[in-house]
């Protein structure tokens, strides 16, 4: 294999991986921009989306075939289903906590993450599940209330879209890598959060940029002499530290002042 072939392969791998990170990071950013909540259950929505896409593809494959068309239809349906799941989670677990101390809502988000993760652990008995198609408002909320805008609807839309994007990433990752696991959302949740912070939490272009940076860095960094794939997480979190040291708001983020 020539150097050009290696470069091309790693570029493709980095873009694909970075796209998964970016999709999940977009969900973090959208929810944070509207609700000011770091939804640490977002990685688990990615995992649930992957399993939802798999179940839908298993049902639809006799009618649509196991190829990429069937995957695409299953992905769209999984996005809708997990989008509504995100809205239910927001209404049941997060909305009642919005006036509580921020630490309380963060603990609630972690609890939701554990519920989703252990629920899928119970259903799958912790086994890898093969995926059959491997080849194939950022707004001032008080002012919005005074103007008559529906803040609840804005939060619901943000949670729906963010969850739907996570489901899209989970379904595509299952089809691309060929397997699903109940714990698959944990690390990508951390990486996507890292991508969102690197790009600037609350910035949609920043989330996309951060995801692609992480994907390409991991892909090319593991090709350095004497460096294996086990070092990719070191690269990711080292970049996070450097960005926070030299530009705490992220590459495209802007400092926000608290409104009084």
At 35 the pLDDT is 73
Structural domain count of the chain:
1
- Residues composing the chain: 260
What is the rounded CA–CA span in Å between residue 139 and residue 4?
Answer: 47
Q: Does residue 61 form part of some domain?
A: yes
At 159 the pLDDT is 87
At 113 the pLDDT is 93
Question: pTM score, two decimals?
Answer: 0.84
Q: Does residue 254 form part of some domain?
A: no
At 260 the pLDDT is 33
Structural contact between residues 251 and 243, judged by C-beta atoms closer than 8 angstroms: yes
Q: Does residue 255 form part of some domain?
A: no
Q: Does residue 259 form part of some domain?
A: no
Q: Does residue 258 form part of some domain?
A: no
What is the rounded CA–CA span in Å between residue 192 and residue 161?
Answer: 16
pLDDT, block means (10 residues), the chain with 260 residues:
82 90 90 80 94 92 80 93 94 86 87 94 91 54 50 79 92 89 90 92 90 89 71 83 90 63
At 235 the pLDDT is 79
Q: Does residue 23 form part of some domain?
A: yes
Residue that is written with structure tokens 């070092």 in the block: 231
Q: Does residue 251 form part of some domain?
A: no
What domain range includes position 235? 3-246
CATH number for the domain including 124? Answer: 1.10.3470
At 228 the pLDDT is 66
């Amino acid at each position: 294999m020539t150097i050009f072939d290696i470069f091309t392969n790693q570029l493709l791998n980095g873009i694909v991986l970075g796209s998964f990170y970016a999709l999940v990071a977009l969900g973090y950013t959208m929810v944070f921009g509207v609700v000011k909540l770091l939804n640490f259950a977002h990685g688990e929505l990615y995992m649930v989306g992957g399993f939802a896409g798999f179940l839908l593809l298993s049902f639809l494959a006799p009618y649509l075939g196991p190829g990429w068309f069937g995957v695409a239809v299953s992905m769209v349906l999984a996005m809708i289903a997990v989008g509504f799941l995100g809205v239910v989670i927001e209404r049941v677990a997060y909305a009642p906590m919005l006036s509580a101390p921020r630490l309380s809502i963060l603990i609630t988000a972690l609890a939701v993450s554990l519920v989703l993760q252990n629920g899928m652990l119970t259903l799958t008995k912790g086994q890898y599940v093969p995926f059959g198609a491997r080849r194939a408002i950022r707004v001032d909320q008080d002012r919005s209330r005074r103007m008559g805008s529906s803040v609840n609807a804005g939060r619901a839309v943000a949670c729906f879209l963010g969850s739907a994007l996570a489901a899209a990433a989970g379904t595509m990752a299952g089809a691309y890598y060929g397997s699903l696991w109940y714990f698959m959302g944990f690390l990508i949740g951390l990486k996507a959060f890292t991508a969102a912070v690197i790009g600037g939490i609350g910035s949609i272009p920043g989330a996309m940029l951060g995801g692609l940076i992480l994907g390409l860095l991991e892909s090319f960094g593991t090709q350095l002499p004497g460096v294996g794939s086990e070092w990719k997480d070191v690269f990711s979190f080292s970049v996070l530290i450097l960005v926070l040291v030299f530009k705490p708001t992220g590459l495209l983020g802007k400092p926000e002042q608290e409104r009084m």
